[in-house]
Homo-oligomer: A and B are copies of this chain.
């Protein structure tokens, strides 16, 4: 008899939650197994070790993250519209996975990296051709000529930080959860307008 939710999936789901919330070092194997409603030995029976399990969770998280970006990059849109859509999707995606940016950044900074190969994910982004597309748009005078790192930073900063720093911002301004969420929508519009105005100074008024 096959169960509707297999044990392996139960473990992964629990591990995803716990790892995201507390990080690799911030939780124990027993905490994960308890969250999955089972014995400690069982999670090692399926995943051999805590590191191995973490590796899988991190890699699928990264995969989701990159995939979410990729669908926009490979769409049939003008570069400016791609940017608008990207920002929109990024805010939406990150609202559903708020811990993801801190999780990824923390893992990238960790010395003992569970022997995860980060490179393969970055290669996918480069392989999407988005960087070349930007360079071409810049050459054609459609986009402001700033280097590609700065461009990446501008977009990522303004999309990811507002999600990461939620608690910090709520503390500074004394805002409730609901207020923050609604303010985030306004902020998304501000960010979009600011970035488009800055990066596409010429045709930013003509295009919707």
Q: Which of B149, B158, B183, B186 contacts A169 (CB 8 A)?
A: B149
Q: A25-B22, A150-B186 are in contact. Are A171 and B122 (CB under 8 A)?
A: yes
Chain A interface helix/strand/loop/mixed: helix
CB distance from A193 to the nearest CB of B (A): 8
Interface residues of A in 90-117 (CB under 8 A from B): 99, 102, 104-106, 108-110
Return chain B residues, CB-CB under 8 Å to A168. 104-105, 108
Query: How many identical subunits does the complex contain?
Result: 2
| In contact, B156 and A105 (Cβ under 8 angstroms) | no
Taking a contact as CB atoms under 8 Å apart, the answer to whether B150 and A187 are in contact is yes
Interface string of A137-165 (1 = CB under 8 A from B): 00000000011111011101110111011
- A40 located at the interface, meaning its Cβ lies under 8 Å from any Cβ of chain B in the complex: no
Residues from chain B with Cβ under 8 Å of A173 in the complex:
148-149, 152
